[in-house]
Amino acid sequence: MIKSGVISLLCILPSIVAFLLVIQMSGNYDIAQAIWDSWHIIYNQPLSEVGHWNGTSISAIGWPSKWAVVLHVKSNFLSNYFNVASILVWMITFPVVYYISTNTLLAFRKNENDFKNQHKTALSSILIFQLVCLSPVFMVLSNDYSRIISYWIMSSFAFFLLIPIDKIASLFPVVLVNFVERINEMMTNMLQPSKTTLAFLMMFIGISGCGFTIEAGYVKSTMVYNILFVLSKPFIILGNYLSSLF
């Protein structure tokens, strides 16, 4: 247990050091302006001031740390639309995304040996570990959730597919593995994973792209909305055409 904990700590230590260095030397307005100017030169556009917002992610380099943290905390957890608090939606979204990610390979496997509980535990451990590592980004450093959740899921699956299963098991302390197994057991008891269950969740779960909105962010990011949106196009075009005749 101690050995696996030390190995895990050594594996994450470079990331921790890099993260602390980035916080300490996050940049300033002059660096943001220099990057902004270099882009204008490449695209042969007249130079302009990066400002506070118009440089999108680049302008954020010059933001004061305290101001940026407050902005993202309010945007991620304390905003509300149609009197629905964002923090409650994220408390539903994250467990559902985790549930889908850990059970899809299990439910859609062709043979029982393709994906066993051992594999599910390994994948779940990676997902939880990655979530903890990304928690500063999720909570106080960004509100671009569609991108961050994609990073979280895709990188976790990449690690799971590239690293041998026995190596993954040795990376994580027993405490984390036991915790993950209890979470998975609790979720399975609440909702048995099946193709139908997972397909239903995939159709109706949405992830607000940037910040939090019910209509533009959450609803419009669901698969069922996008299917209806595409199917509605011919009828909308026909309706607009008929309207133009009268």
Structural element, H or E, at residue 154: helix 145-162
Do both 113 and 198 map to the same domain? Answer: yes
Indicate the pLDDT class of residue 101, thresholds 50, 70 and 90: very high
What number is the average pLDDT over the span 173-182? 90
Do both 91 and 192 map to the same domain? Answer: yes
The residue written with tokens 């799971």 in the block is 160
Q: Encode pLDDT of 192-233 as tens digits.
A: 999 999 999 999 888 877 766 666 667 888 888 889 999 999
Answer for the pair 238, 232: CB distance below 8 angstroms, yes or no: no
Percent of the chain with pLDDT over 90: 26
Do both 112 and 201 map to the same domain? Answer: yes
Q: What is the pLDDT of residue 212?
A: 65
DSSP one-letter code for 80:
E
The residue written with tokens 């991620």 in the block is 76
Do both 74 and 155 map to the same domain? Answer: yes
Q: What is the pLDDT of residue 213?
A: 66
Q: Which residues, at least 6 apart from 126, have a Cβ–Cβ distance to it below 8 Å? A: 156, 159, 160, 168
If one counts every other C-beta atom within 10 angstroms of the C-beta of residue 104, the result is 19
**CA-based end-to-end distance of the chain:** 77
Structural element, H or E, at residue 84: strand 84-85
Last residue of a domain, one of 63, 89, 109: 63
Q: Encode pLDDT of 148-164 as tens digits.
A: 888 899 999 999 999 88
Do both 21 and 70 map to the same domain? Answer: no
Counting beta carbons within 10 angstroms of the beta carbon of residue 121, is it exposed (0 to 12), middle (13 to 18) or buried (19 or more)? buried
Cα separation values, 130 from 15, 42, 126, 143, 178, Å: 12, 36, 6, 17, 17
Last residue of a domain, one of 16, 42, 63: 63
Q: How many domains does the chain have?
A: 2
Owning domain of residue 218: 65-245
Mean pLDDT of all residues in the chain?
83
Q: Which residues pair with 81 in a beta bridge?
A: 84
Last residue of a domain, one of 63, 82, 106: 63
Do both 32 and 42 map to the same domain? Answer: yes
Do both 58 and 83 map to the same domain? Answer: no
pTM for the model stands at 0.79
Do both 144 and 52 map to the same domain? Answer: no
